[in-house]
């Protein structure tokens, strides 16, 4: 009887450990999906902060403010897989900036340990040197978010399809995703060749 109880206890512990590992592996992808859904359809210069706060994800995020600018940061990373060396360290974050009650910035960024970081930025007014939307620009290492910046207009239809921006499954996949097209499928839809920008 004692041996049976020990065997049941061990089996219970193994099952609990397996369930925890499964949760920890899947959690980053699910978190990234929720983040993308939360920022989908936001329009820089048109969406108000009051509208932003009607979305569940933004009701529990810390609001950080500095000199009149406030931001909401959502993020996800493949912590367990990368610590176990089963996938390169990969992280995703999205930031929404507001000022005077209006959304003034929507940024989505993906970083993989062996790839240059890619940041998608929605803008109310495109830079004068941009000939269209999207506009791609390498960002120097001394900037806050170095890597490759893909700028889109606040009228670009892709702002309503941000679930397609990042392949969230890459955060929970063994070995992750090795190319920009796989990691950030939006670049294919926008006909942006990030390999040429590296």
- Where residue 129 falls among pLDDT bands split at 50, 70, 90? confident
pLDDT in tens, 66-79: 888 999 999 999 88
Instruction: Give the N- to C-terminal CA distance of the chain in Å, as an integer.
Output: 65
Which residues form the domain of 17? 2-197
Closest CA to 70 of 79, 78, 61: 61
pLDDT in tens, 20-71: 666 677 888 888 888 888 999 899 999 999 999 999 889 888 899 988 899 9
Q: How far apart are the C-alpha atoms of 174 and 48, rounded to whole Å?
A: 39
Give the chain's domain count.
1
Rounded to two decimals, what is the model's pTM? 0.79
A 10 A CB-CB count for 127 gives 9
Tokens 């512990």, located at residue = 13
With a pLDDT cut of 90, the percent of the chain lying above it is: 19
Q: How far apart are the C-alpha atoms of 89 and 57, rounded to whole Å?
A: 24
Spell out the SS3 assignment of the chain.
CHHHHHHHHHHHHHHHHHHHHHHHHHHHHHHHHHHHHHHCCCCCCCCEHHHHCCCHHHHCCCEEEECCEEEEEEEEECHHHHHCCCCCCEEEEEEEEEECCEEEEEEEEEEECCCCCEEEEEECCCCCCCCCCCEEEEECCCCCCCEEEEEEECCCHHHHCHHHCCCHHHHHCCCCCCCHHHHCCHHHHCCCCHHHHC
Contact predicate 112/90, CB 8 Å: yes
């Amino acid at each position: 009887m004692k041996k049976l109880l020990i065997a049941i206890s061990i089996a219970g512990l193994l099952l609990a450990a397996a369930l925890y590992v499964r949760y920890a592996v899947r959690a980053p992808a699910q978190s990234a999906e929720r983040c993308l859904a939360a920022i989908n359809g936001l329009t820089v210069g048109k969406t108000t902060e009051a509208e932003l706060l009607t979305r569940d994800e933004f009701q529990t995020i810390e609001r950080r403010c500095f000199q009149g600018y406030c931001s909401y940061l959502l993020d996800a990373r493949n912590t367990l897989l990368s610590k176990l060396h089963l996938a390169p360290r990969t992280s995703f974050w999205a930031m929404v900036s507001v000022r005077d009650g209006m959304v003034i910035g929507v940024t989505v960024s993906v970083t993989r340990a062996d790839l240059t970081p890619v940041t998608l930025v929605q803008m109310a007014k495109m830079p004068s040197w941009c000939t269209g939307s999207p506009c791609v620009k390498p960002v120097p290492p001394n900037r806050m978010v170095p890597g490759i910046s893909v700028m889109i207009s606040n009228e670009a239809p892709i702002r309503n399809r941000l679930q397609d921006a990042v392949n969230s499954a890459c955060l929970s996949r063994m070995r992750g995703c090795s190319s920009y097209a796989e990691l950030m499928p939006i670049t294919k839809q926008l006909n942006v060749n990030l390999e040429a920008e590296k």
